[in-house]
A and B are shown apart, each in its own frame.
Chain A
Amino acid sequence: MRINKEIGSCLQWSFRFCALLICLIGIVCIYSWNKQNQQIHYALEDYIPKIQSSTRLDENLNILFNEFNQFAKSDNIQSRLLLKERILLRLKKLNQLSEQLPAERQLPFKNNINKIEMLLAELEDNLSAYHIVLNQLSETQTYIYWLHDDFNQEVSSLIQDISLQQSYLLDQLKNNSRDQQDVYKTFNRIHEELNFIANLTLTENKVIKILEQMTDKTNLSNLDNNIHYLTYLNQSNREQLSDLTNSMVTLRQIIQELFNIGLSDHQLPIILEQYNDAMNNLNHLTEKKDDVLNTIKETLEQQLDNDHGQLIQVSNKVRSASNMSMLIIMITIVIVILFILILNQLYIRPKIISRLTILNRSVIELSQGNLNAKISIDGEDELGRIARLLRQSIDHIKKQTQQLEAEIIDRILIEKHLRETQDDLIQEAKMAVVGKTITTLAHEINQPLNALSIYLYTAATAIKQLNTEESNQAIEQSQKLLIRIKNIITQLRVFSKRSNSDEPLKPVDLVQVINQAWGIIALNKTTHLTLTIPEQLETVLGNDIRYEQVFVNIFTNSIDACENKQAKITIDKMVTDKELFLYIHDNGVGWPLSEVERLLTPFTSHKAIGLGIGLSLSQSIMQQSHGELYIASTMNNNALIVLKFLKYNSL
C-alpha cells in the first residue's frame, strides 16, 4: 500500500471521496428538483388553467343561473330583452371558456350549452305567450277598476239625487203644494230605490271581490269555485233585479258587465286558463332549465374533483421523492462530516500538522543559526523526506563552516603579517628619507659644532682676560647652538620612530602635524618653499605620527614636482557634519593622465629616487584611520590630493 504513505495522494483520495459524495448530493438534488419542477409544471400548465377555466365556467354558470331565473320571472319586455341579451352574451362567453377546456371535456359541455340555447328560445316563446296573457289580464283588471269607479260615481250621484229629492219632497210636504198621498208614494219609491242601491252596491262589492280574487296572480287555485260562486250570484241578481226603475239601469248594467267579464267564455275564464297554461309551461321549462344547468354544474364539479385527485397524486409522488432525497442527502452529509472528522483526527493532525510543527520549529532554530537543531525523521512520506534532506543540508553546511573558519584564521594571520610588512615598509621609507637627510644633517650639525668650538675658544680667551661679559656671551651663544642641535636630532628621532597600525585612534591637531611635517621637509630643502594653510583646522581622529608621514609624502611629491621653481603648496578645507576634507594642491607639473590609474599602486614612481610606495602607503594610512585619499587635478593641471578625515567630535 504505497498510496497510503504519500500525503498528497492521501489528500487527493480524500478530496475525490468528498467530491463523489457531493456529486451524489447534487444528483439527488437534481432528481428531486426535477420532480418538483414536474409538479409545478403540471400545476401551472395543466392544473391551474384547468381549475381557472373551471372556476370561471362555474362563476359564469352561476351568473347564468341567476340571469335565467330573472329572465323566467321577468314581467316586462324591456327587462326580458335585456336579460336575453345578457344570457346570450353569457352563453357566448361560456362557449369561449369551454374552448379552453381539454378537447374531451368540451363536447359534453357544448352539448349542454346547446341545450340551454334551445331552452332559452323555448322559454322566450313561452314568456311572450305568458306576457300576452298577462297583458290581457291587466287590461281586464283595469277595465274592472274603471267599471267599479263608474259604479261608485253612479252610486254617489244617485244618493245625492235621492237626498235632494227627499228634501224637495219634504219642502212640498211643508208647503202642502202636493197631495200628501202622492208625496208618501214617492217617498216609498225613493225608499225602495235606496234599498236597491244598497243591494246593488253589496252585490257589486261581492262581484268585485271575486273578480279581484280571480285576477290575483298569486292565487289562481280556486278559479272553479269563484266561477261557480259568480254564476250563483248572477242568477240571484237577475231574479232580484228583474224589475228596476229607470234610474237604476246604469248600476245594473255595470254589474251585468262585471258578471260578463267573470263568466263570459271569451273574457276572464279563457284568459285565466291561458294564464294557467302559460304558467305551467313556464314552470315546466324552468324545471328543465334547472335540470340542464345542474347537469352542467355536476359535470364541472366532477371534472374539478378529477383534477384535484390528479394533483394530489402528483403531489404525493413529489413528496415521497423529496423525502427520499432528503434522507439520502442527510446520510451523505453525515458521512462527509464523519469522514472529515476521522481524517482530521487520525491523519491530518498526527501525520501532518504535528510533524509540520516540529519541522517548522527546527527550521526556525536553524534560521537563528543553531545548526545543531534537532531534526526528527519519521515516515517515508514527503515530510520525512524533507526532514532527511534538511538534515543532510545541515551536515553539509556544518562542514563548510568548519572549512571557512580555518580559512578565516589563515587570512587573519596573513593580514597581520601584511600589516607588519607595511610598517616595515613605512620605516624603510622613513629611513630612506633619513638617509637622504643624513648628509645635510652632518652639515647642519657640523656648522653649529664649528661655531661652538669658536664660542668655546672665545669664552676661554675671555675668561683668561677675565672678560666675563664676553665669556657670558659666548657661553650663551653656545647654549643656543646646543639647543638647536638637540632640536634637529629630536625631530629626526621622532620621525624615524616606528608607528604601530594597531594603536587605537586618538584626537589629532592637524595644524601641528602639518607644521612638523613641513619642518622636516624644509630641513633638507635649500630652495625657497611656501606653504599656505587655513588658520584653523578641526581636530580629527587618527595617529599624529602616521598623519605626519602622509603629509611628508605629499609635500615631498609636490616639491619634487617643482624641480626648477619655487614650490607653492596650498591647503584648502571643507567641513561637513562628520568629516573634514583637505584639498592640497601645488604649482608643479602635475601627473600624466595615463599614470593616474597606477599612482596608487605600490612601487610606481616617475621619480629618479624613491620606492614608489609613497601614495599607496598614504592611502592605506588614511583608510586605517577611517579616512580616504583621492587623487585629482586642478584646473591648471596641477596635482590635487584630497584627504578625508573623520572629525573627532563625530564619534
Chain B
Amino acid sequence: MKKILLIITLLIIKPIYADELLIATTLSTEATAYIIEQWQKINPNITIQTLNRTSSSIERLAESPFGDSIDLIISSSPILFSHLKDNDKLSLISAVPKESEHYTPSILQNYVAAFALSGYGILSNKNYLEQHHQTIPKTWQDLTRHDYFGMISISSPARSDTTHIMIESILQEFGWEKGWQILMEIGGNIGTISSRSFGVVDKINSDLSIIGITIDSYANVNHNDKLVFNYFPNNTPIPTFIAILNQSQHSESAQKFIKFLLSPEGQLIVANPNTGKYPIILGIKESNEYVKYANFMKTEHINYETLLERQELVKQLFDVAITFRLEQLKESWGLLYSIEKKTGKSLDNVRELLTKMPINEMDSLNYHVDKQSSYLSKNVQEDNIKWRNFFQNQHQKAIELLENISQ
C-alpha cells in the first residue's frame, strides 16, 4: 500500500517539480551520454531522455502525433533539418553565437545551432598493416593504392548521412570529376559496404575489415590499441546541429539546454574526450589534443547548398556505381592490378574507363529530382537503369581492353 502510494505521489509530483526533455537524435547513445550526464549534474530538475533514430525515422516521428513529445533534435544531417524546416517543424533559436552561425547552413540559420564539430578520417588496423608491411593510409589518394585491395570498408551515403557528407566533401574538395575518380578507384579496394556508419567501426573492431572511412566520434569512442585513426588532410568539419521542434511543450527548457551547450562551460563539456567531438568555440580547450586538431577546424565548412541540391543524385550514383556493383569492381580492379603488376606500368586508359561518370559536374548541379512518388523518384529510377547500363558498358570495355593487354 505504501509502495503504491509512493508511485502515485511520484507521478503527481513529477510534472510539478521536474521538466523532462526528449531529444531525438541520429547520433549513437554514447555520443550524447556524457553531455547529458553533465547537464543533469547542473540541472537535476530538467531530466533528459534520448531517442536514437535514423533521420528518416525522426522525420516520420515529427509528423506523427508523437511528434508533440519530442523537444529537441540533434543530428549532423543538414538534410534532416532542411526537411523539417521545409515542413515548418522547427522553432527559432535565440542568441546563437557567431561561431555557431559560421558552421550553420545559411538556409537553416536561426533555426538550427551548430554546437560541436566532428572530423572524419581513416580508421586502420595498425597491427595488421604492419604485419603485412604496409603503410597506414592517411589521404583519400592513399586509399586508391592497390595494396589495400579488398580491405576498405565504408557505409552507403544513401543510408548514412555522415557518409554522404564525407562523399560530398571529396566531390567539393577535388571537384566532381576528380572526386569521383578517387571514389571509383577507392571503390576498387572496398571490401564491404555497411548500411550504418558505426557498422564500419564494428567491422574493423571485429577484424572483418582492415581500413574504414568514418567520422571521428565513432572512431574515438571505440578506442582500441591495435587501431589508429588519421584525419584526412583539409578535413572539412562536420558540425553537429541542434534544433527545437515547434510542437515542443518544454521549449523553455530546450532553449536553456541549447544555451548551456553553446556557453563556455557547455563547450568545455563538449570538448571532453568522452563526447568524441570538438567544441565549436575555438580556444575553449587548452589541451594538446585540441591543438593537434585545431588546424582542420579552421578550414572552410562544406557548401551545404550544393550538398542539398544534389544529395539524391550523389546517393543514387554512389549506390549504382559502387554499392550494387561491388563484385564487378573487385573483378575489374583485381584484374587491372594484376596486369599492371605483370606489365609494370599504369594502365591509365583502363583506369579512365573504370572511373568515368555518366554525369558531369554541370549536370550534377542542375539535376532535378521529381517529387517522390515511389521509392525512387521517377527520373532517378529511369536514370538508374541508364547508369547501370553505362557502368556495365564501361566495365565490359575495360575487361576487353585488359584481356587484349594480357595476351
The judgment on whether A and B are partners is yes
Query: With A and B bound together, what is the CA distance between A451 and B326 in angstroms?
Result: 188
Query: With A and B bound together, what is the CA distance between A168 and B331 in angstroms?
Result: 51
Within 8 Å of chain A (Cβ to Cβ): is B102? no
- On chain B, the number of residues with a Cβ less than 8 Å from chain A's Cβ atoms is 44
Assess whether B57 is in contact with A157, with CB atoms less than 8 Å apart.
yes
Assess whether A253 is in contact with B195, with CB atoms less than 8 Å apart.
no
Within 8 Å of chain B (Cβ to Cβ): is A139? yes
In the complex, per-residue mask of A448-465: 1 if CB is within 8 Å of any chain B CB, else 0: 000000000000000000
Within 8 Å of chain A (Cβ to Cβ): is B327? yes
Assess whether B326 is in contact with A78, with CB atoms less than 8 Å apart.
no
Among the listed B327, B372, B407, which residue makes an inter-chain contact with A142, where contact means beta carbons less than 8 Å apart? Answer: B327
Given known contacts A81-B406, A139-B388, A174-B11, A146 and B324 CB-to-CB distance under 8 angstroms? yes
Among the listed B51, B56, B323, B332, which residue makes an inter-chain contact with A250, where contact means beta carbons less than 8 Å apart? Answer: B56
Assess whether A78 is in contact with B66, with CB atoms less than 8 Å apart.
no
Assess whether A132 is in contact with B64, with CB atoms less than 8 Å apart.
no
Query: With A and B bound together, what is the CA distance between A142 and B327 in angstroms?
Result: 9
Assess whether A246 is in contact with B63, with CB atoms less than 8 Å apart.
yes
Within 8 Å of chain A (Cβ to Cβ): is B328? yes
Within 8 Å of chain A (Cβ to Cβ): is B364? no
B400 nearest CB neighbor, chain A only? A128
Give the interface centre of B374, B392, B400 by most chain A CB atoms within 10 Å: B374
Assess whether B323 is in contact with A142, with CB atoms less than 8 Å apart.
yes
Within 8 Å of chain A (Cβ to Cβ): is B338? yes
- On chain A, the number of residues with a Cβ less than 8 Å from chain B's Cβ atoms is 39
Assess whether A138 is in contact with B66, with CB atoms less than 8 Å apart.
no
Among the listed A146, A169, A254, which residue makes an inter-chain contact with B323, where contact means beta carbons less than 8 Å apart? Answer: A146
Among the listed B53, B323, B374, which residue makes an inter-chain contact with A257, where contact means beta carbons less than 8 Å apart? Answer: B374
Assess whether B375 is in contact with A250, with CB atoms less than 8 Å apart.
yes
Within 8 Å of chain B (Cβ to Cβ): is A143? yes
A residues in contact with B127, CB < 8 Å: none
Given known contacts A135-B392, A160-B53, A257-B376, A165 and B335 CB-to-CB distance under 8 angstroms? no
A window 536-578: CB within 8 A of B = none
Among the listed B324, B332, B396, which residue makes an inter-chain contact with A132, where contact means beta carbons less than 8 Å apart? Answer: B396
B residues in contact with A157, CB < 8 Å: 53-54, 56-57, 60
Within 8 Å of chain A (Cβ to Cβ): is B69? yes
- Nearest CB of B to A262, in Å: 14
In the complex, per-residue mask of A129-173: 1 if CB is within 8 Å of any chain B CB, else 0: 000100110110011001101100110011011001100110000
Query: With A and B bound together, what is the CA distance between A1 and B116 in angstroms?
Result: 146
Assess whether B51 is in contact with A253, with CB atoms less than 8 Å apart.
no
Query: With A and B bound together, what is the CA distance between A168 and B65 in angstroms?
Result: 9
Assess whether B325 is in contact with A161, with CB atoms less than 8 Å apart.
no
A246 nearest CB neighbor, chain B only? B63
Assess whether A164 is in contact with B328, with CB atoms less than 8 Å apart.
no
- Nearest CB of A to B131, in Å: 26
A residues in contact with B60, CB < 8 Å: 157-158, 161, 246-247
Among the listed A78, A154, A253, which residue makes an inter-chain contact with B374, where contact means beta carbons less than 8 Å apart? Answer: A253
A256 nearest CB neighbor, chain B only? B374
Assess whether B395 is in contact with A135, with CB atoms less than 8 Å apart.
yes
- Nearest CB of B to A330, in Å: 69
Given known contacts A150-B159, A161-B61, A266-B385, A78 and B338 CB-to-CB distance under 8 angstroms? yes
Among the listed A81, A142, A153, A158, which residue makes an inter-chain contact with B195, where contact means beta carbons less than 8 Å apart? Answer: A153
Within 8 Å of chain B (Cβ to Cβ): is A85? yes
Within 8 Å of chain A (Cβ to Cβ): is B213? no
B residues in contact with A132, CB < 8 Å: 392, 396
Within 8 Å of chain A (Cβ to Cβ): is B399? yes
Chain B positions near chain A (C-beta within 8 angstroms):
11, 15, 51, 53-54, 56-57, 60-61, 63-66, 69, 156, 159, 195, 319, 323-328, 331-332, 334-335, 338, 372, 374-376, 385, 388, 392, 395-396, 399-400, 402-403, 406-407
Query: 3 tightest CB-CB pairs across the interface, nearest first?
Result: A253-B375, A157-B57, A165-B66
What are 10 A-B contacts with C-beta separation under 8 Å? A77-B399, A81-B402, A139-B324, A142-B326, A146-B156, A161-B57, A169-B65, A253-B375, A253-B376, A257-B376
Instruction: Add 8 more A-B contacts to A138-B327, A253-B374, A257-B375 (CB < 8 A).
Output: A77-B332, A77-B403, A128-B396, A142-B326, A146-B323, A146-B324, A153-B195, A161-B57
